[in-house]
A and B are shown apart, each in its own frame.
Chain A
Amino acid sequence: MEIIQRKVCLLGDFAVGKTSLIRRFVHNKFTTDYQATIGVHVSRKEVILENAEAKTVGLILWDLAGGETFSQMEEAYYRGSAGALLVADSMRSETFGILNTYATTFMQVNPEASLVIVFNKVDLMPDVAELERRAKALSARWGAPHFFTSALTGTQVDSAFHELAESVTRT
């Protein structure tokens, strides 16, 4: 089976759960203690695509530090990415709008890249109706599918990464 490699970035504000999503996806684990990512953390996970051309995609996941601290490095780290997972915290609405900033910068560096939007920590949300409305708006703006995930329970984590793997092999 053909194995291809793709670099993808996880982008989003601090403490939205980027590292937890990777930990759940790569190691199927979750921990409650929060440690801020310093600079960048790189992981690798192979995804088998069961489409017409069966392929194995080696996703090289660049988990970038959120927030302002490392913003000057962003463009250098974005370079060469085939796609990005934009991550927001379902409980913190201020983390939704900032995704536009991340997406804009990212697409300037990689105009042909694919995006997938993720609203994490849905296990804490009593009602996702309002969230759904805002998610649709973001999805429409960037032409990107969205997922409601929980790194704690594993809800839709694999689906989101799978979708990203599919889309980066098309670009």
Chain B
Amino acid sequence: MTHESAADSVESKELEALREILLTQDRAQLQALQRELAALRIQSESPERLVAMLDPLISEILAERARSHPDEVAEAIRPALMVGLKQQIEKERDVLIGLLTPIIGQTVQRAIAEAIESLARRVDARMERMLDFRNIWWRLRARLSGIDDAELVLRESLPWHPEHVFLIHNQTGLVLAEATTGDILEDSDLIAALLTAIRDFSRESFKGEPGETLHHIQFGERQILLEEGKGAYVALVGEGVPPADAYQRLRETLVTIHQAHGALIRDFKGDAGTGETLTPMLSPLLQPIEEPEPSKPPVLGLVALLLALLLLCSTCSWLGYSASPRVLARLAPTAVLYITQPTSTVTPTVMPSPTPLPSPTPSLTLTSVPTDTPTATPSPTATATATPTALPSSTPTATPTPQPKLGIMTGNVYVRAEPDPTAPHTGKVILLGDTIRILERRDPWIHVVFPATGEPKIEGWIPARWVRVQ
């Protein structure tokens, strides 16, 4: 037994020595790994230490990711970024304004400078054609209304870009015709239907006076001008500030269309072919306002001014000549001048035949009629400016039978009992496109009956500016 245990002891020592030889290195490595593991565990359980460890790497990883997958990174950080930005703006608005002002300020400055430069070019161009007759008349009207020239030029210089024009059937809301400066819209039928729905909605909701309707829709810079006729209405879509006569042009176009194609519009149910007929009549509404050509001098205006001065001089010298008693004595007893208006009743005006010179208004005619009791009017009357048609007549007392004078309404207008804007309404409205018969004119009012033929249903006074006399 003792011998056996001694042998075991020797064997054990040898095995231990062998283990020592074989495992010493592994044990050392294992201990090192255990220490590292313990250290990592401590780091992972402590956020501060973990952050400290990863911190140097995060920016590198992000930079690399942003380079390789920019969209993904943007998508990932966008929500947080937006929230952060919003909060930051709320907290430090002033700081942000301070940062952005130089950038935005410059952009705004540039935009304003460009707009003013463009406006200045337009104003210059307008000024260059100030001598145009139309402009002179326009300015005169503005002056009488108390509007300054500068304001007028500024108003005229504001841009207006018409884009689309629709002629829409009142009843069905279907497009009768359309014109555009670009491509024809695919959804023009829907636009027309919805415009009609909006118009009807406004009319029903705000039940105003008879004839009142929706005239204007604005969406951002885009404007829709609406003008309604008897069977159809026109919708003009454009950008900018519409010119002062925009609605007048719409009304005139509507009246022309109704006059020429009233039956076509009345009988319209949606059948094809109306566009071909009516579109050419709409297209002029898309033409931009006539722009002046700045490079050309206003030759026409100057010529017109010179002619006007010449005319003034000749009139003055003629006045001096005709006023002399010798001339009056020679001419007065023998001549009578009749000035006749084309269609109205004629009231003979007895005047001396004043001039042997060629008349500046060639439509005046002299007719010599011996009279027993000559009456001389020493000065010519201003009525000679009406473009009269001279009727040589030896029977000046004859009064032609008055022809019924007709007119077309260019708007929906109340009829009043008296030619006075404060006079009470008769409760009747004559609609745009209606034909009326004119009984009497007392500017700026006209006494009318409607309808023009047959038994009158409406009679009263309306402003003359709403009637186009035929």
Contact = CB atoms under 8 A, between A and B. Distances in A.
Interface of A: 2-7, 39-40, 42-44, 58, 60, 62, 72-73, 76-77, 79-82
B293 interface: no
Contact of A76 (B193, B194, B204): B204
Interface of B: 169-175, 187, 189-190, 193-194, 197, 200-201, 203-204, 269-272
Contacts of A73: 200-201, 204
5 contacts: A5-B174, A5-B175, A6-B269, A73-B200, A80-B172
Given A42-B194, A76-B203, A60 B269 contact: no
Nearest to A62: B193
Most buried by B among A5, A44, A58, A79: A5
Contact of B201 (A39, A58, A82): A39
Contacts of B269: 6, 82
A5 B201 contact: no
A77 B171 CA distance: 9
A82 B270 contact: yes
A54 B170 CA distance: 28
A143 to B, nearest CB: 20
Q: Interface SS of chain A: helix, strand, loop or mixed?
A: strand
Contact of A80 (B169, B187, B189, B204): B169
B200 A76 contact: yes
Contact of B272 (A3, A40, A72): A3
A124 to B, nearest CB: 32
Contacts of A72: 204
A77 B200 contact: yes
A90 B362 CA distance: 84
Contacts of B173: 7, 60, 80
Given A7-B193, A43-B190, 7 more contacts: A4-B271, A5-B270, A6-B270, A40-B197, A60-B173, A60-B174, A60-B189
B171 A79 contact: yes
Q: Which of A4, A80, A82 gathers most chain B CB within 10 Å?
A: A80
A7 B174 contact: yes
Contacts of B189: 5, 44, 58, 60
A47 to B, nearest CB: 13
Contact of A2 (B193, B204, B272): B272
Nearest to A74: B204
Contacts of B172: 5, 7, 79-82
A117 to B, nearest CB: 23
Closest 7 CB pairs of A and B: A80-B171, A80-B172, A5-B270, A76-B200, A42-B193, A7-B172, A5-B174
B267 to A, nearest CB: 13
B169 A39 contact: no
Contacts of A40: 197
Given A39-B201, A80-B169, A80-B171, A4 B194 contact: no
